[in-house]
Amino acid sequence: MRRNVDLKEISDGKLYTENDMAKVGCNDCAGCFACCTGMGESIILDPLDIYRLTCGTGLTMEQLFTVHIKLNVVDGLTLPCLVMAGDDERCTFLNSDGRCSIHKYRPGVCRLFPLGRVYKNGDFKYFLQTDECKSKVRTKVKVGKWIDVDRPRENRAFLNVWHNLLNELEEKCRKAEDLEETKEINLKLLRTFYFMPYEKTADFYEQFERRLAAFPV
């Protein structure tokens, strides 16, 4: 999701790599679940999130759609995001103890929080959102450990390709002659990268590459 904000206003002004230490530690969230409520449509899911969620929960996309995820339009593209339900707008994966019930396979946005990514020149770095985490005491943690992602090199390559693809498709939607063309772009995107089930026993990145190669941009 593109955000038109001044990084200086929401961050500490630094950019981080996986090897840097950042003040993200929050005592294992002890009793807090603020960032799992009231997040609106901001926890947008990418294909790796869908792979993780379907493999981890054993639920199909259709089953995830009945409770946990929904579609939302972002910058002209229709993408899945987590549902926040009820009066207090809780993530549907939050359990009665106020803990994430899918911690091992939680989405990328949740792994990052309160970090964000800033993309530049075909790559990205991390920034720290200083006012988002509600913990009073924050300790320094290595960024790579915080985001807890397997195979960081492949993950970075995937995230860059995905980011560029979404940018290209947003541009196509902006230039589309009519609504039908925009609809077609979005349907292909959803079918290719989200609705076609991923093989649980096969490598995600290889499956993504194959889908990308067959995707008409």
Q: Give residues in contact with ligand SF4 (CB under 6 A).
A: 26, 29, 32-36, 43, 82, 91, 93-94, 100, 102, 106-107, 110, 113, 133-135
For the bound state, the minimum distance from the C-beta of residue 212 to ligand SF4, rounded and expressed in Å, comes to 26
Burial category of 210 from C-beta neighbours within 10 Å (exposed 0-12, middle 13-18, buried 19 and up): exposed
Pick between residue 133 and residue 173 the one whose CB is nearest to ligand SF4.
133
Q: What is the DSSP string of 168-205?
A: HHHHHHHH-SSHHHHHHHHHHHHIIIIISPPPTTS-HH
Pick between residue 36 and residue 77 the one whose CB is nearest to ligand SF4.
36
Pick between residue 26 and residue 128 the one whose CB is nearest to ligand SF4.
26
d(CA 123, CA 159): 9
For the bound state, the minimum distance from the C-beta of residue 135 to ligand SF4, rounded and expressed in Å, comes to 4
d(CA 125, CA 66): 35
Please answer whether residues 204 and 51 qualify as being in contact, where contact means their C-beta atoms are separated by less than 8 angstroms: yes
For the bound state, the minimum distance from the C-beta of residue 188 to ligand SF4, rounded and expressed in Å, comes to 27
For the bound state, the minimum distance from the C-beta of residue 32 to ligand SF4, rounded and expressed in Å, comes to 3
Pick between residue 92 and residue 155 the one whose CB is nearest to ligand SF4.
92
Pick between residue 113 and residue 158 the one whose CB is nearest to ligand SF4.
113
Q: Quick one: tokens of 205? A: 């990145």
For the bound state, the minimum distance from the C-beta of residue 108 to ligand SF4, rounded and expressed in Å, comes to 10
For the bound state, the minimum distance from the C-beta of residue 15 to ligand SF4, rounded and expressed in Å, comes to 20
Sequence-distant contacts of 73-78: CB under 8 A, at least 24 apart: 74/1, 74/41, 74/44, 75/1, 75/2, 75/166, 75/170, 76/170, 76/173, 76/174, 76/182, 77/166, 77/169, 77/170, 77/173, 77/185, 77/186, 77/189, 78/186, 78/189, 78/190
Pick between residue 57 and residue 78 the one whose CB is nearest to ligand SF4.
57
